Amino acid sequence: MSTIGIIAIFLILIIIFQISRASDLLGNLKGEERTQDARNNLHATLFLIFLILGMFGAVWSTFHYAPLFLPEPSSEHGVVLRNMFQRTLWATVPVFIVTHILLFYFAWKYRKDKTRISKYFPHDNRLELIWTLIPAVVLVLLVIDGLVNWNRIMGPAPEDAVVIEATGQQFYWTLRYAGKDNELGRKNVRLITENNPFGQDWDDPANKDDFMADDLYLPVGQPVLVKINSMDVLHNFFLPHFRVKMDAVPGIPTQFWLTPTKTTEQMREELDNPEFDYELACAELCGKAHYNMKKKVIVVEAEAFNKWKAEQEPLSKTFASSIEEDSENKVVKQEQARDNAVSSL
């Protein structure tokens, strides 16, 4: 279908080109001056056609693709962002429509005409003031709106927020939950091994209860703080249904917090789609398998969330034997170092 569309557009362009060439040749036969007039008229008419087709296309595509739009936001911040987006549209779309109608209409209306004389109109203070002040005020209001909401979303999360860490890597996300103490243990990239995927520092007691999860479990109605990292290149932690998105930058931790407002079950009912699942996706083209860098997001009632959380096995338990081995090695190394130091005295 789209191929046929492209071919059709291409053919229309060829036809327009041929018509303009034909009218040029025709003009040549009738003399130079007539040619110029014909060309001006043609261009002016094309401007009008472009305006009408463009406007029609914009409206048509909006309604045509409306079924693919995201459903209502599923988080408190999502609603804030959606409203902000709509306010921005209300401020900009009317301006876009009016200026474009004028742009193309004027190009048609004021095409070269020997009977009309241009008016010399170099400067008007009042006009300058109007078209500088109005956009300035509107933009300042939009920017303030954005800043206030940015600070709300990026600012410190409530004390009781569930703490989750998401690490992006070509091409998957790893999720670490803070466990019972609600505090993520210290980690160090140098400590990463097969048996220590996050590079957790086992000397930090906060690491004892941290656990890893396959799906992103979230409790409904409870704030969640997501701390975002990357191990290699730029990734982007994107929860489209919650309208949150944040870059994962190697070496620079980022974060945001959100409060989910609808469980997966509620969403399935609302959309009348028993297959529906929230999705975590990577929104930064990060390499060949970027498209595959996603995870299922499961939003459940707080009770079910706590039950799930209690069932998870801490990483310290999963890798208990290798942690012990490591700490023994450490003791041996320390002893060796001490012996060396003593013998060198």
Distance CA 82, CA 94 (A): 19
Query: Is the CB of residue 225 less than 8 Å from the CB of residue 161?
Result: yes
| Residue whose CB is less far from Cu ion, 178 or 293 | 293
Min dist CB 218 to Cu ion, Å, is: 20
User: d(Cα 238, Cα 282) in Å, to the nearest integer?
Assistant: 6
Stretch that binds Cu ion, among 125-133, 143-151, 153-161, 284-292 (CB under 5 A): 284-292
Q: Cα separation of 61 and 124, whole Å?
A: 40
Q: What is the Cα–Cα distance from 153 to 264, expressed in whole angstroms?
A: 22
CB-nearer residue toward Cu ion: 178 or 297: 297
Nearest CA to 267 out of 138, 24, 63, 78 is that of 78
Rule CB under 5 A: which of 77-96 touch Cu ion? none
Q: Say how far apart CA 297 and CA 345 lie, in whole Å.
A: 60
Q: Is 187 in the site for Cu ion (CB under 5 A)?
A: no
Among 166, 218, 220, 282, binds Cu ion (CB under 5 A): 282
Q: Show Cβ contacts of residue 275 under 8 Å, excluding neighbours closer than 6 positions.
A: 268
Tokens of 131: 């078209």
Identify the helix (H) or strand (E) that includes residue 137: helix 125-154
In angstroms, give the least distance from the CB of 282 to Cu ion. 3
Single out the segment in contact with Cu ion by CB under 5 A; choices: 76-84, 228-236, 267-275, 294-302. Answer: 228-236
345 - beta bridge partners? none
Look at residues 330, 302, 262 and name the one whose alpha carbon lies nearest to residue 70: 262
Candidates 244, 286, 297, 298; binder of Cu ion (CB under 5 A) is 286
Considering the complex, what minimum distance in angstroms separates the CB of residue 85 from Cu ion?
Answer: 24
Nearer to Cu ion among residue 155 and residue 287 (C-beta): 287
Q: Interacting stretch for Cu ion, rule CB under 5 A, among 106-114, 117-125, 256-264, 288-296?
A: 288-296
Q: How far is the CB of 197 from Cu ion (least distance, A)?
A: 17
Cβ proximity to Cu ion: between 293 and 297 the closer is 293
Q: If DSSP codes are grouped into helix, strand and coil, which group holds residue 336?
A: helix
Stretch that binds Cu ion, among 119-127, 181-189, 271-279, 280-288 (CB under 5 A): 280-288
Nearer to Cu ion, 142 or 283 (CB): 283
**CB nearer Cu ion, residue 224 or residue 282:** 282
Specify the residue, 218 or 293, whose C-beta has the smaller distance to Cu ion: 293
Task: Enumerate residues 52-71 that contact Cu ion by CB under 5 A.
Answer: none
What backbone torsions phi and psi does residue 344 show, to the nearest 5 degrees?
-80, -10
- Rule CB under 5 A: is residue 309 a binding residue for Cu ion? no
Q: Which residue stretch of 30-38, 201-209, 267-275, 281-289 sits at the interface with Cu ion (rule: CB under 5 A)?
A: 281-289
Count of C-beta atoms within a 10 Å radius of residue 101:
13
293 binds Cu ion (CB under 5 A): yes
Nearer to Cu ion, 184 or 286 (CB): 286
Which tokens is 210 given?
């941290």
Q: Output the smallest distance, CB 133 to Cu ion, in A.
A: 44
208 and 314 in contact (C-beta within 8 Å)?
yes
The residue among 323, 336, 325 whose CA lies nearest residue 203 is 323
Least CB distance from residue 286 to Cu ion, whole Å? 3
CA dihedral 318, 321, 323, 326 (to 10 degrees): -150
Residues 231-260 that bind Cu ion (CB under 5 A): 235
Residues lying near Cu ion in the complex (CB under 5 A): 235, 282, 286, 293
